Amino acid sequence: MLAAGQRHLATTGDNEASQAAAGLGTALENEFDARDGKIADLEEQLAEVASAKERLEEQGDKIKGLEERLAEVALAIQSEAEKKVILEGRTANKIKGLEERLAEVALAIQSEAQKKVILEERMANLLEKLLDRVQLLESEKRFRSGGGGSGGGGASSSSNNLYSTK
């Protein structure tokens, strides 16, 4: 009976072991399928990360290029601003020089006008003296030519009118 019980246990044990092995195989197969799915998901995520990294690197390159261009533009703006300051300085200097020259010319014009007034006064004085001498000479001529004043007096007054500035 002991032997029969052992045989029954062995047969029953084989069936249970067989069932347990089958269940374990199914569980392992399910576990492997689940892990294969997780691996596939992780590989897909890795591919997405690699693609995102590549896009970020491209954007980084674009940003770097834009930063370089921005630096170039900033330098160009600074250079133009410096040129503008220099040109404004030169223009201010030219304007100042022209204003100084204009003041010099105005003083020269004023001086020349004063000289002209002085020369006109001298010429008027000289002309007056000349007319006085001409009148004196005409008087002497009339006196010498006979007589003192009748005859030549009309001509001398008309010649006085020719030289007169009054």
* DSSP output for 52-107: HHHHHHHHHHHHHHHHHHHHHHHHHHHHHHHHHHHHHHHHHHHHHHHHHHHHHHHH
pTM above 0.85, yes or no: no
C-alpha distances in Å from residue 109, one per residue of 102, 103, 104, 123, 137:
10, 10, 9, 20, 41
C-alpha distances in Å from residue 77, one per residue of 70, 71, 72, 74, 80:
10, 10, 9, 5, 5
Total number of domains in the chain? 1
What are the tens digits of pLDDT across the range 41-74?
A: 999 999 999 999 999 999 999 999 999 999 999 9
Both structure tokens of 119: 């020369």
Q: How far apart are CA 65 and CA 133, in angstroms?
A: 99
Exposed, middle or buried by CB within 10 Å (0-12, 13-18, 19+), for 139? middle
**How far out from the chain centre does Cα 43 lie?**
56
Lookup result for tokens 């047969």:
11
Q: How far apart are CA 108 and CA 110, in angstroms?
A: 5
What are the tens digits of pLDDT across the range 67-94?
A: 999 999 999 999 999 999 999 999 999 9
What are the tens digits of pLDDT across the range 103-124?
A: 999 999 999 999 999 999 999 9
More confident residue, 25 or 153: 25
- Give the per-residue pLDDT at 66: 95
- Give the per-residue pLDDT at 158: 45
**Triad 14, 31, 26: Cα angle to 5°:** 30
Structural domain that includes position 102: 2-163
Query: Cβ atoms within 10 A of the Cβ of 107, count?
Result: 10
